């Protein structure tokens, strides 16, 4: 049985010769392995399991953009490992920074927050439009799709031609911005008073 090193190195050599099918198969095999490894690592770090796919995609993008740097006379797996290690470390740092500011609300919880009595429905829609107009266009689009129209994250991502992770991040950032505007202004205590 041929080793993974030999099979994957041959697939990369085939990609250099223009064999797109071999390259696609290689990426699929690498992605499958990465999902298993990263899912375990993400759980150890206390991050959400859905963030695994974002990290896998980052590694695959890194591999794809740097594939020209692999020397065909050198082993493939150490080269891949270096890319994966860098991309995963960078991605985890980014996810941890985001996690500190993330507000995880379900769509039902969000609906309860913005729910208005039936008689105030027209006024409520105007208020929603007014608040959403303060958001950047991309955030407006995502919030309207998810919270107002009730679309799924997947269908919104497909419609916007982006990843589900990007839709979630945009939605959370929009919620943070909306909640920050809703907070009453904090006043400083007068001098000498605590």
User: 8-43: per-residue pLDDT in tens?
Assistant: 999 999 999 999 999 999 999 999 999 988 888 877
Nearest CA-CA partner of 20 in 69, 71, 64: 64
121 has pLDDT over 50: no
The alpha carbon dihedral of 82, 42, 94, 53 has a sign of positive
Q: Mean pLDDT across the chain, nearest whole number?
A: 79
79 has pLDDT over 90: yes
List of domains in the chain: 4-101 (1.10.1740), 107-182 (1.10.10.10)
Is there a contact between 79 and 70 (Cβ–Cβ < 8 Å)?
A: yes
């Amino acid at each position: 049985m041929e080793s993974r090193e030999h099979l994957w190195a041959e697939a990369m050599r085939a990609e250099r010769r223009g064999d797109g099918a071999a390259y696609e198969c290689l990426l699929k095999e690498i992605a499958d392995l990465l999902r298993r490894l990263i899912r375990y690592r993400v759980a150890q770090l206390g991050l959400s399991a859905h963030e695994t796919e974002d990290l896998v995609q980052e590694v695959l993008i890194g591999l794809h953009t740097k594939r020209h740097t692999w020397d065909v006379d050198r082993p493939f797996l150490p080269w891949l490992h270096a890319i994966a290690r860098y991309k995963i470390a960078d991605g985890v740092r980014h996810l941890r920074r985001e996690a500190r500011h993330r507000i995880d609300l379900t769509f039902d919880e969000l609906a309860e927050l913005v729910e208005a009595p039936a008689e105030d429905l027209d006024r409520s829609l105007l208020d929603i439009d007014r608040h959403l107009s303060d958001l950047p266009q991309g955030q407006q689009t995502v919030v309207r799709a998810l919270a107002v129209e009730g679309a799924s994250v997947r269908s919104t991502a497909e419609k916007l031609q982006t990843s589900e992770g990007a839709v979630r991040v945009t939605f959370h950032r929009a919620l943070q911005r909306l909640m920050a505007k809703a907070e009453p202004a904090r006043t400083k205590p007068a001098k000498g008073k605590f």
